[in-house]
Chains A and B, each alone.
Chain A
Amino acid sequence: MIAVEGVVKRFGAQAVLNGVSLTVAPGEVVTILGSSGSGKSTLIRCINGLERLDGGRITVDGLDVANPRQLAQARRLSATVFQLFNLYPHMTVLRNVTLAPEVVLKRPGAEVEAEARALLASVGLADRADAYPAQLSGGQRQRVGICRALAMNPRYLLLDEVTSALDPEMTAEVLAILGRLVSAGTTMVFVTHEVEFARRISTRIVFLDHGRLIVDLPTDQFFADAGGMAHPRIKQFLSKMTPVGGQS
């Protein structure tokens, strides 16, 4: 379980996360919604240990991410897919996928490579294994980003707006892959602006507003008039979201 307890994160005087609490149990798909600047990315970056907390506590299966030793362990349990892919440009697609399983998990190279090739094939990139990231389209790069994360066999997949840099066609491509992962039971923390897609795949939806988590509801209740929609902020947010992508 990922447990976020009263987390505070400041940049200078600004409290970007202001007492956020949230749990993600195995098997759940928890979507984080919120307007730009509400702290969604920061929350993901706190969970994977890229930001230092100013208050509160985050544990991943009991491992405290504020403790360097425990963070190293926690990082083997969760894997992140980034908005701008963040691939290693000097490595081939295949190497991007095999690097962490090999050097972090210390798994045998041949086995890791076979798995990586199978993963790449499952997202339609079997023939691009030896290409470099710069030679791929955005959608292809993000599919590599997803394979890189899945190659760690993570218990938790953290996704931060993984389709927002993609055009609608490539977005549909990537969402289709995520849909398959959800069907396979992958646990996800999913930051997105694809509200319609989130509605279909999420077990719960939480809403961040100016660094505060103002609702945390099962998906159907979130969209119910008496649930999330009862909050003026959320109603306003949803009315501004035009459903794009996710139709696939």
Chain B
Amino acid sequence: MRNTGFTAHDGIVLAQGLGVSLALFLATFAIGLALGALAAVVRHFRPPVLGVALDTGLELLRNSPVLVQLFLVFFGIPALIHQPLTPLVAAGLTLSANTAAFVYFIVVAGLDAVGREQVEAARAFGLSRAQLVRHILAPQAAAFAMGPLVGLAVNQLQVTSLVSVIGVVDLTKAGDILNLRTLRPFAVWTMVGVLYFAVAKGLTLLGHRWERRLRAHAAPSGL
């Protein structure tokens, strides 16, 4: 007779799954944020060919299902390079790139929202491009982008659950394991859902508080 009751060990399994999900989310979001924002800054200065290439490539990434991207990376790349990828590496690559694509379009819009006149003033006063980005564009674009980025973060957290499909033992996979043993799907999936929700809620609260601070003095048009 198998044990279908919940044990303390189940808590550990769930906690480990949650840890993997969180770590995967934090790492891929940080990488995606850095790459996407960098690409957006490059794009802002309108390099002729590179700008179009970035737009097209990232548009493709943004507008195809993450699961398809995950399969492409996990099954497709090993077939090309004749070397297997571990599920975690495949998941990390896919989610980072996918996040970067969304971040890119959010930050491009945020940069465009910074008033032209102040940018011209800064240029007339001799600020270099790097100084312009650092002192004028970045602080204000960050304020404009913060809301959408928080929304994206919540979404990408949930998207991490897809990696359970290729065998990463994240929170969803842990739920799956637990479900198979206890045969109590309603209780298990409610618990898993609540855990995702709690993290998402925390992210949102934190993000909005930060956004309010950033936004205090950023105005879309110059003064």
Contact = CB atoms under 8 A, between A and B. Distances in A.
Interface stretch (B50-58, B93-101, B116-124, B192-200): B116-124
Interface string A79-96: 110101111111100000
Nearest to B132: A103
Interface in A5-50: 48-50
B217 A152 contact: no
A90 B124 contact: no
A76 B126 contact: yes
Chain A interface category by residue count: 20 to 34
If over half of B's interface residues share one DSSP class (helix, strand or loop), that class is named, otherwise mixed; here it is helix
With most chain B CB atoms within 10 A of its CB, the pick from A72, A79, A84 is: A84
A104 B218 contact: no
B218 A89 contact: yes
Given A75-B126, A103-B131, A104-B126, A89 B219 contact: yes
A90 B223 contact: no
Contacts of A80: 121, 124-125
Contacts of B131: 103-104
B207 interface: no
A87 B117 CA distance: 8
A88 B124 contact: no
Interface string B116-151: 011011111111100100011001100100000000
A90 B143 contact: yes
With most chain A CB atoms within 10 A of its CB, the pick from B121, B123, B143 is: B121
A223 interface: no
Interface in A83-116: 84-91, 99-100, 103-104
B126 A88 contact: no
Nearest to A132: B217
18 contacts: A48-B124, A75-B126, A80-B121, A86-B117, A86-B121, A86-B222, A87-B222, A88-B122, A88-B222, A89-B140, A89-B218, A89-B222, A99-B122, A103-B135, A104-B125, A104-B126, A134-B219, A152-B125
